[in-house]
Copies of this chain bind each other. A is one copy, B any other.
């Protein structure tokens, strides 16, 4: 019962990896938005497996349909539903896993919690579900972009190869210029080499996705619990394989002194800004108009082709050998997913803020 995200722009996803398909209902999408369907397709392509030699060969032909909420080229304000039928879903690849609990997968916990398990590629627990999020994010982006709000995510670390540039030094145009989605060509090459090496060994490796949101108006975030930072953290930790979230100075900030860390205010062109941005664009849980920047950690994906010991449903030791088609490193494809969850979170808070923003002005 936790398949809905958001309070106003409410995103509910449904569907399984190897079932009929994957879908999403958006309740609370503002009406009269002309959707650029090609952009949604483009975003799906970015998330899609099989984009390059770095990703799984599963050939998902991401053809989506709009099932409801769209009339004469515009959203109606009624539930906006998208549906992608599953194709090329080789369930047979998973027959040998029918009674296995794969290490660090959700097989065991799903089985225990629900009393059943969809062994076909993880069923509901599969990262395939994120295709639905990417669609919702692509809708949200189309509402945010005309308001000037821009979201960029990129790969800033693969294994121990780190891009040390701050968000302000990134040339966002470079993100899509290489299959790793690292906006620094030299680092991208190193990362790519590392991923290919890991792939060759039948292993996997983790990474970090960094993100920045530009031109967020002052005032988004609902303390004390629905702080913008808290909802972004939840959004990111709800993504498959993510293990950590930090914003602004994050974990490194703990080593700083307050006198260094405090962001000094100043006024430029009648706008209040801060000289540094260790706050990460959020103070007291509310956006302060500066760029919001954060980082998300992703573990090495659990599916590897190397042999592993595990147990079956009866607790007997078994030997697993990876089959199926999987990514050696999830972060290049996680980039559009991080962006999508960011867009959904920001739009939801923007709409929440509308509730009283205009009312109190008129009273």
Contacts and interface: CB of A to CB of B under 8 A. Distances in A.
Contacts of A108: 218, 265, 272, 283, 288
Contact of A103 (B116, B227, B248, B262): B262
Contact of A13 (B76, B224, B257, B287): B224
A157 B254 contact: yes
A208 B146 CA distance: 40
Interface string A262-299: 11111100101010001110111111100000000111
B356 A31 contact: yes
6 contacts: A7-B7, A31-B356, A109-B285, A160-B255, A198-B257, A258-B300
Contacts of A116: 31-32, 71-72, 74, 76-77
Contacts of A113: 77, 218-219, 221, 286, 353
The interface size bin for chain A is 35 or more
Given A103-B274, A108-B288, A114 B32 contact: yes
A101 B112 CA distance: 43
8 pairs of A and B residues whose beta carbons are closest in the complex:
A106-B284, A2-B226, A2-B222, A244-B246, A204-B258, A1-B28, A206-B254, A109-B286
Contact of A23 (B74, B81, B354): B81
B1 A222 contact: yes
B76 A123 contact: yes
B355 A351 contact: yes
Contacts of A225: 2-5, 234, 238
Interface in A121-169: 123-125, 129, 143, 146-147, 157, 159-160
Given A14-B67, A267-B311, A300-B253, A284 B355 contact: no
Nearest to A15: B68
A101 B272 CA distance: 10
A69 interface: yes
A192 interface: no
A152 B22 CA distance: 36
A258 B301 contact: yes
A261 to B, nearest CB: 5
Interface string A88-109: 0000000000000101111011
Given A112-B218, A354-B356, 9 more contacts: A3-B222, A106-B223, A125-B223, A243-B249, A251-B251, A253-B299, A259-B308, A261-B299, A272-B315
Contacts of A76: 16, 114, 116, 118, 123-124
A323 interface: no
Interface string A344-363: 00000011111111111001
B23 A1 contact: no
A59 interface: no
Contacts of A83: 67
A227 to B, nearest CB: 5
Contacts of A37: none
B358 A355 contact: no
Contacts of A45: none
Contacts of A2: 27, 221-227
Given A246-B297, A263-B104, A12 B32 contact: no
Given A81-B23, A109-B284, A300-B258, A238 B264 contact: no
